[in-house]
Amino acid sequence: MGETKMSKRFLGFLVGASLLPAAAWAGQPVDLLLRGGKVLTVDKDFSIASAIAVKDGKIVATGGDELATRYDAARTIDLGGRTLMPGFNDTHVHIQSMSHRQISMEGVTSIGDLQARIAAKARELGPGEWITGAGWDEAQLIEKREPLRADLDAAAPNNPVVLTRAGGHSSVGNSLALKIAQVTRATPDPSGGVIEHDAAGEPNGIIRERSDLYRKHVPADSWEALRPSFITSMKRLLTLGITSFHNATTTIDDEPVGKGGIAKPGPGLTYRRLRAIYDEIGADLPRVTTYIAYPGPQRLAAFPMRSGDGDERVRLGGIGESSVDGGFTGPAAWLLVDYKGLPGYRGKGLFTDAQLQAMVDDGARHGWQMALHAIGDAAIVQAVNAYSKALNNIPGVGPHANDRRWFLDHFTIMPPEETMKIMARDKIMISQQPNFLYNLEARYEKYLDDERLAHNNSVATPAKHGIFVAFSSDNLPIGPMVGLYAAITRKGPSGRVHGAEEAIPRETALRMYTANTAYLSWEENIKGTLEQGKLADMIVLDRDPLTVPAEQLLETKVDMTFVGGKLVYARNPQ
């Protein structure tokens, strides 16, 4: 009897259920479900999940295995225990182009390698043609020294050659390039720059901070010729797990004359050109916030847009990087004390106080965020004082009038305590490059006293003062893993620890490369963490950055990159 009643009840359930709409049985449809891994949401609690669902480019839910029953996914990806996290957002990248006259520095490990590439390009181009290149780094060469004039002469005596160092703060030219630039042993140092000499007093080919003395003589390429290589450079960011970036080399030069533009714009990236690229192929590129080079008061007043304008693909950022001083790749950063081993030399500031204040005030009056380059402690003091005066004396305008989010790029050398207090009080932020500690270790050890060495590219101390810090790379190198490693360990390639007190926890470092970076472009509500409603900009790593031995961070690979839920890079396509 009991069995009969049970059978009737079950039959009744089936009959009733058959009358329900199909949606009551099926899970909610989504485009993508990733499961079976470790999901670092980087939310305020740094919550850990194991699955995530995506629909229409946005995150629907994060959770555990139950998402597989709650959602009916058009595509499911088994993470296989790997780590999923928000994509990196680099707040200082220089997107590079590749001219037909340019040699690649990728894989160069010696001056001999460099000479072979120069010689090959000379044969390709023929005598008299300029040969260019960018990205050499003496720390990566087995000789552990800079390439000099004589090295370039040996490779291409009949071609002018100029090669810019990684970081962009110095260039080396050969004898023919020096002749064309009219640089001799009697040439005085140019404004803001340094001409290096050998023991005999002759120029050795290296010019710090004024590469334009060479570069202005190199024939310009057209935008049409360079456009494909700019796109290639942006796509490469996806292989590094960078789903958003701030381009630090952009102008408004090709805007209409009278609306901020000039009559004959050069071939570089502009806001309009970026918009055109993204209108065509934006779904396959990382998102971009673009600095603009300060165009002067008249053109800035004529340009009808300001920081924050744009959309989720292309957005205007700050005025930058407009260098307040030089860099350590010179070295020409402006210090408050003499460089170690160089009595009387402190680097150079590139603005008078009045000049800098005029630019900063102009940005403030027109509703622009400021994002100026300041590396040395003297430059930081000057920039912070200028920022503070503008922020306190010029009312904000536009949608971010009360939330201006001005920041300094670099902040390499810790400034005096009073300057730190001003930054905290006025909410002046930092776009920091912890990777500089790793890449420029030899330079810092050579030129900095113990205190400045220990606190170079600091993160922990500014944070303790209440100063907001976000991460970036400035192309030295672009890969975020180097920055994470240096911020967590404070180690350079030598393995030596510089300022252990400046090391930060892994969770903090990851946040500074994701959630914090979104904040600098007023986008913290739409990206930077893996939370419901935010853009599905995500990466899959081949190991867990929270638990692997620190040295393995340098070997960590990006297996997949998603922008808006679309798979735009796979290391091992299937």
Residue among 262, 282, 266 nearest 274 (CA): 282
Alpha helices in 402-561 (DSSP H): 417-426, 435-439, 441-447, 450-454, 460-464, 480-489, 506-512, 515-519
On whether both 297 and 166 belong to a single domain, the answer is no
217: exposed, middle or buried (Cβ count in 10 Å: 0-12, 13-18, 19+): middle
Q: Is residue 420 part of a domain?
A: yes
Same domain, 275 and 320: yes
Closest CA to 56 of 553, 544, 534, 404: 534
Q: Which of 239, 240, 241, 234 is nearest to 539 (CA)?
A: 241
d(CA 456, CA 465): 16
Full domain range(s) for residue 327: 223-526
Residues 6+ positions from 1 with CB-CB distance below 8 Å: none
572 is a domain residue: no
Percent of the chain clearing pLDDT 90 (strictly above):
87
Q: Is residue 257 part of a domain?
A: yes
Residues 413 and 330 in one domain: yes
Tens digit of pLDDT for each residue in 475-524?
888 899 999 999 999 999 999 999 999 999 999 999 999 999 999 999 99
Beta-sheet pairing, 429-432 with 469-471: parallel
| Mean pLDDT on 333-362 | 96
- Asked if residue 364 and residue 256 are part of one domain, the reply reads yes
276 plus 173 within the same structural domain: no
Q: Is the pLDDT of residue 23 over 70?
A: no
In sequence order, the 6+-apart residues with CB closer than 8 A to the CB of 286 are 87, 234, 237, 238, 242, 243, 244, 245, 563
> Which CATH number fits the domain that encloses residue 232?
3.20.20.140
What is the tens place of the pLDDT at every residue in 199-227?
999 999 999 989 999 999 999 899 999 99
Residues 330 and 298 in one domain: yes
**Does one domain contain both 391 and 504?**
yes
Residue at 65 is within a domain: no
- Specify whether 262 is located in the same domain as 388: yes
User: What CATH number is attached to the domain comprising 147?
Assistant: 3.10.310.70
| CA neighbor of 291 nearest in space, from 406, 433, 428 | 406
Whether residue 545 lies inside any domain: the answer is no
**In whole angstroms, what is the distance from residue 134 CA to residue 306 CA?**
31
On whether residue 278 sits in a domain, the answer given is yes
- In terms of domains, do 325 and 186 share one? no
Same domain, 231 and 207: no
Which of 215, 244, 276 is the C-terminal boundary of a domain? 215
Would 7 be classed as within a structural domain?
no
Nearest Cα neighbor of 288 from 231, 222, 244, 350 is 244
pLDDT of residue 391: 98
Rounded to two decimals, the pTM is 0.86
Residue 338 to residue 315: CA distance in whole angstroms: 40
Distance, in Å, from the CA atom of 44 to the CA atom of 50, rounded to the nearest integer, reads 17
Which one of 157, 184, 215 terminates a domain? Answer: 215
Q: pLDDT digit string (tens) for 290-336? A: 999 999 999 999 999 999 999 999 999 999 999 999 988 768 899 99
Tell me, yes or no, whether 186 and 317 share the same domain. Answer: no
Q: Name the nearest CA neighbour of 361 among 396, 407, 321.
A: 396
In the predicted model, is pLDDT for residue 3 greater than 70? no
The total of structural domains in the chain comes to 2
436 and 493 Cβ atoms separated by less than 8 Å? no
Do 203 and 244 lie in one domain? The reply is no
26: pLDDT confidence band, cut at 50, 70 and 90?
Answer: low
